[in-house]
Amino acid sequence: MIAREWKCRVPEVHAEGFTAYLYKTGIKDSSATPGFLGAQILRRSLAGKVELTLLTYWDKLESIKAFAGNDISQARLYPEDEVYELEPDLSVQHYEVIEHQFSAEQWG
């Protein structure tokens, strides 16, 4: 399994709106791609901003190419990102997932 990590920052005022937009764009498009296994959005507060980290999980690098194009190190951005005053990382990181375990009991 491969994890793909992308980060961005938005002003606090746009945090909720951009998160909803992220579901309509990046999550929707990636989840429609064969080989997509799941996603997580992480959030942390910064001074006046919110940093969001999108982790998507894939079966293999070739599946990521189907979503992102041949240069999988480049972020896939969307036309309306600027509406949210997005400060995107322009590159992404990929990791081989060597352990993954979640307990349903821990999450209620």
pLDDT in tens, 60-73: 999 999 999 999 99
DSSP SS3 for 30: helix
Q: Which two tokens stand for residue 18?
A: 């951009």
Q: Domain locations in the chain? A: 2-72+84-100
CB 75, CB 92: distance < 8 Å = yes
Tell me the average confidence (pLDDT) per consecutive run of 10 residues in the chain, 108 residues long: 97 95 92 96 96 96 96 94 94 94 65
Contact 69, 44 (CB under 8 A): no
Q: Does domain 2-72+84-100 have CATH number 3.90.870.10?
A: no
Q: What is the pTM of this model?
A: 0.89
Nearest residue to 4 (alpha-carbon basis) of 67, 103, 105, 93? 93
